[in-house]
Amino acid sequence: MEIRVENIVKTFQSSEGPVTALDDVSLTVPSRTIMTLLGPSGCGKTTLLRCVAGLETPDSGKITLGHTVVWAKKNGKTTVVTPDKRGLSMVFQTYAIWPHMTVFENVAYPLEAQGMSKAEITSQVAKTLKFVQLEGFERRPVTALSGGQQQRVALARAIAPEPQIILLDEPLSNLDAKLREETRVVLRSSLNKLGVTALYVTHDRLEAFALSDVVVVMKDGKIMQQGSPEDVYFRPNSRFIVDFIGKANFINGSVQEVKKEHILVDTGLGTLLCQFRDDVQPKQRSTVAIRTDFVEVVPKGKENNVAEELTQNLVSGVVERALFLGEYREVNVRVAEETLTFRLHPTISVDEGDQVQLFLNPQGCHFLL
Amino acid sequence: MDQSKSRLITLILVIIVGALTLGPATMLIIGSFSEGFGAFGTLTFEKYARVYSDPRLYGALRNTLIFTFGSAILATTLAFGLAYLNHRTDVPFRGLLHLIPTIPMMIPHLAYGAAWAILLNPSNGIVNVFLRDVLGLGIINIYSLPGMVFIEGLLELPIAYLVIAPAMASFDATMEEASWICGVSPRKTMRKITLKMLLPAILAALTLATVRSLSAFAIPSVLGFPNRIDVLTTFVYRLVSTGLFPDYGRAAAVGVNVLVSAVILVFVYRHYTATAERFVTIGGKGHKIHRMKLGKMRLPMGILALSLGILLIIVPVIVLAYISVVPYIMPPGPKAFSMLTLANWKAVLSEKITLVAFRNSTFLALVGATVGILLSTVVSYVIVRIRNAGSTVLETLAFASFGFPGLIIGIGFMWALVRTSLYATIWALLVGYVATYLPFGIRPLTSTFIQIDTDLESASLVCGAGLFRTFRRVIAPLALPGIISGWTMMAIMFVQELNLSVILARPGTEVLSVLTHRAVNDAFWGRVATLGVIMIALSAVLLGLTRIFTRKFAS
């Protein structure tokens, strides 16, 4: 079942006047797709999710689930379907499992609301608990469960009624790091197996990349970029996205030439081959982002063996600082007037004061508008 | 702190607190099996046999059940409604509504009951006169069981609110949202989720209000006395205050059962509080609180809630102040205002016994609260920081005595003190006050100490400061706000103390509440009102002084 959000505006009243939480947001989650809303806190991602759930009332716009308009306000006429009638499921950040009920009662709750028979409920709950690997926990009070188990009860309650749409509001943020990584994998395969349409809110880019078919990055109530995880990672469209998904150095540059697969940009480091974009003109001045992890050290004496078309992006400089951080080595390299930060593979040993030659992969050089 | 020293301190405290709490309780039990007051004689069941064959006891028992549960249910219902309006709806005047439950502790129950008697007594109650003579309607007789239930219910509202409101405030609204998402309507969610999750807090409030109205003496005494509607406390009081030979044996025989019931209820209360806390910890912080939009009902609900405040605070104060300056109960109007007089004040203030009582009450408030809070501070510290068998005993004792009915424990003190030199001295009252109200100091201070990080103390010890210096320089200053507010609360309670005083006071050791009680029995309403105003003023002065002191200390 498809989720369609059209022109949603939502403002909150705060002590310092109205705050726009959602600024004319439109998006479509195709049927059986996992979409994540990714962004820093306060970007409006949770508000958007809650609008879809019906827990928050937008100021204007339209929300459609499948073929049913669940919320619309146009010319003073409002259509409202209350959350209990929207037929979707939701996993809450705090889980919101009810402490006065057992695991069974929690998972059975939405089934009872659907008017299922006792026998059906029993078998459906058993099936669902098996799916989330909580067999035998039926009679446990939820207050006696660990955080991870509580999270699985919350998930079980959401999937027990076999919904077509499931909303997830930072469901993993209360788990510790290791458990979060494991659960993320399980969650992805569970959602795929169930074949549901899922809208997933998170501020963690790894979680977003690992889980989703489509990532929507939001900022200040607006959608900044939308695409597959690879799209967003390899083709960031703004300084905000570059900053949010990774680390980069920002330097000034002006377009020299727009080529077929690349653009040539004049910078303080020399002329750089940057990722292609067709919406720029020669002489145009702006910022170039050089990603910290799209760099290779050219081994000494191999300078001439670099493929010819790539000789363009070679820079050399002096290592000012080198930190060993386990997974990678963070180095500051002085190149011409700039100090650039890079992440090198930990096996590449460099020391402060070393002269190095670096190849800046054009894939990691973005001319930003 | 080294083991032996901490063990010694704990042992000393267990002995002191044990003597203060278990002492009178034990004496009550022994007394109930004794032949006579003063000399115990041989073990006898005679007192039990006599008092439990008295048919009036069963009347009192029936009244007690109705009075206790009735007022507890009323208080809890009102408290729930007020807390729900305050925390979960967009009701107006929320700032004001939050204050309502905190102010009534300034008003002595006896004076509060008297104010209502002045308004609604069947012969010349101001409101009744108006209903009967002006409107030609029937009267509302406050000297009845429903009247007593209503007034006691209002008085227990604050304590019930203080139990329910925190649970309501920390209620995680996503618990309700999750239910809506599951396809359950908001109305049904209220029943299946909200009420069920708040149930432990509601039951805790109900139990606490029950314990308190079980021990209540003021309201049954003011409103039950005229029509001989006895509850167990007034029944016990009658046994020791009327007739030529007060029978402390029979009083003890009834009192034992009241005491046991109260202690059981207190542990029921503890059970519900623990469940309520477990329910809260699983929730965690919600996205934000959803306030239900009351719409057209917004203003009416606000006014309804405010009127509770008016009934609780404004009415009694105005009535008492007014009645203290008119010659007799008369409706306010031109006639009354032309007859304004200070006669009541002159009479009360010129009597020697008033000055004695005023001095005694002030002494007990200042010295009693100081002794009480010092003991509470040390006991709470040991309960929180020293974890051994002794501290568990202390905690249990402090908790069990939380439910001790003052009047009944007063009988126990009589048995305990009758053959000592403390008997009939102001010190007897002091010991009784400190013993009975100790839990009210220990409970808030325990939470104060829990909030002080252990590392702060460890840091001082590491710096080379000894235990005593650490306590004086680090712990006490940090706990000072808690200690001061505990002291104020105790001092105000002591100004108003009636239940113990009415048993323990002897000629020369009267306190203000005892004088007020006598005036109530004699239906000298002008005197009652004047003494009531004096007690309220004294409480207000104590509160004001500590406020000023706290502010100075803070700056």
Using a CB-CB cut-off of 8 Å, the residues of chain B touching A92 are 174, 177-178
Using a CB-CB cut-off of 8 Å, the residues of chain A touching B283 are 94, 96, 99
Smallest CA–CA distance, residue B18 to chain A, in Å, is 36
Report the CATH number of the A3-234 domain: 3.40.50.300
**Fold assignment, A247-368:** OB fold (Dihydrolipoamide Acetyltransferase, E2P) (2.40.50)
Task: State pLDDT tens for residues A184-218.
Answer: 888 898 898 888 999 999 999 999 999 999 999 99
State the pairing for strand pair A197-202/A165-169: parallel
Q: How high is the ipTM of this complex? A: 0.85
Judged on CB neighbours under 10 Å (0-12, 13-18, 19+), B491 is buried
If you average pLDDT over residues A48-71, what whole number do you get?
A: 92
Looking at residue B518, what is its pLDDT?
92
Q: Which residue of A has its CA nearest to B189?
A: A84
Smallest CA–CA distance, residue B177 to chain A, in Å, is 7
If you average pLDDT over residues B489-509, what whole number do you get?
A: 91
Interface test with A, best of B182, B275, B288 (most A CBs within 10 A): B182
Task: Determine, for residues B181 and A89 on separate chains, whether the beta-carbon distance falls below 8 Å.
Answer: yes
Q: Which of B135-144, B277-286, B527-536 has the highest mean pLDDT?
A: B527-536
Using a CB-CB cut-off of 8 Å, the residues of chain A touching B193 are 98
Q: Which two tokens stand for residue B114?
A: 């008297």
Which of A198 and B133 is assigned the larger pLDDT?
A198
Task: Determine, for residues B178 and A93 on separate chains, whether the beta-carbon distance falls below 8 Å.
Answer: no
Helix (H) or strand (E) holding A257: strand A248-258
Q: Which residues of A touch B (CB under 8 A)?
A: 46, 50, 53-55, 82-90, 92-94, 96-100, 109-110, 113-114, 142-143, 150, 157, 161, 174
Which residues, in sequence order, are CB contacts of B418 under 8 Å at separation 6+?
B37, B38
Smallest CA–CA distance, residue B189 to chain A, in Å, is 10
Indicate whether B286 pLDDT > 50.
no
Task: Determine, for residues B282 and A109 on separate chains, whether the beta-carbon distance falls below 8 Å.
Answer: no
Helix (H, G, I), strand (E, B) or coil at B464: coil
Task: Determine, for residues B287 and A50 on separate chains, whether the beta-carbon distance falls below 8 Å.
Answer: yes
Q: Which of B178, B183, B279 sits opposite A100 (nearest CB)?
A: B279
Indicate whether B14 pLDDT > 70.
yes
Looking at residue B415, what is its pLDDT?
86
Domains and CATH numbers, chain B: 1-44+342-555 (1.10.3720.10), 51-341 (1.10.3720.10)
Task: Determine, for residues A83 and B177 on separate chains, whether the beta-carbon distance falls below 8 Å.
Answer: yes
- Across the A:B interface, residue pairs with CB atoms under 8 Å apart total 83
Q: Which of A124-128, A174-178, B417-421 has the highest mean pLDDT?
A: A124-128
Task: Determine, for residues A100 and B287 on separate chains, whether the beta-carbon distance falls below 8 Å.
Answer: no
Helix (H) or strand (E) holding B259: helix B248-283
B331 close to A (CB below 8 A): no
Task: Determine, for residues A98 and B175 on separate chains, whether the beta-carbon distance falls below 8 Å.
Answer: yes
Residue A4: name the closest of A45, A38, A51, A39 by CA.
A51
Task: State pLDDT tens for residues A224-235.
Answer: 999 999 999 999
Looking at residue A305, what is its pLDDT?
59
Residue B103: name the closest of B317, B299, B305 by CA.
B317
Every domain of chain A and the residues it spans: 3-234, 247-368
Interface test with A, best of B282, B289, B292 (most A CBs within 10 A): B282
If you average pLDDT over residues B179-194, what whole number do you get?
A: 92
Q: Which residue of A has its CA nearest to B178?
A: A96
The confidence band for A68, taking pLDDT boundaries of 50, 70 and 90, is very high
CB contact at 8 A, B487 and B546 = yes
Helix (H, G, I), strand (E, B) or coil at B405: coil
Q: Which residue of B has its CA nearest to A174?
A: B284
Which residues, in sequence order, are CB contacts of A62 under 8 Å at separation 6+?
A4, A5, A6, A7, A8, A69, A71, A72, A73, A74
Using a CB-CB cut-off of 8 Å, the residues of chain A touching B170 are none
Which residues, in sequence order, are CB contacts of A305 under 8 Å at separation 6+?
none
Percent pLDDT > 70 in chain B is 97
Smallest CA–CA distance, residue A229 to chain B, in Å, is 28
Smallest CA–CA distance, residue A149 to chain B, in Å, is 13
Q: Which of A96, A157, A174 sits opposite B177 (nearest CB)?
A: A96
Indicate whether B290 pLDDT > 80.
no
Segment 155-214 of chain B within 8 Å of chain A by CB? 172, 174-175, 177-186, 193, 196-197, 199
Looking at residue B332, what is its pLDDT?
85
Using a CB-CB cut-off of 8 Å, the residues of chain B touching A150 are 282
* Long-range Cβ contacts of B63-67 (<8 Å, 24+ apart): B63/B145, B63/B224, B63/B229, B63/B230, B63/B231, B64/B214, B64/B231, B64/B232, B66/B145, B66/B149, B67/B145, B67/B148, B67/B149, B67/B152, B67/B213, B67/B216, B67/B220, B67/B231
If you average pLDDT over residues B504-516, what whole number do you get?
A: 91
Smallest CA–CA distance, residue B185 to chain A, in Å, is 6
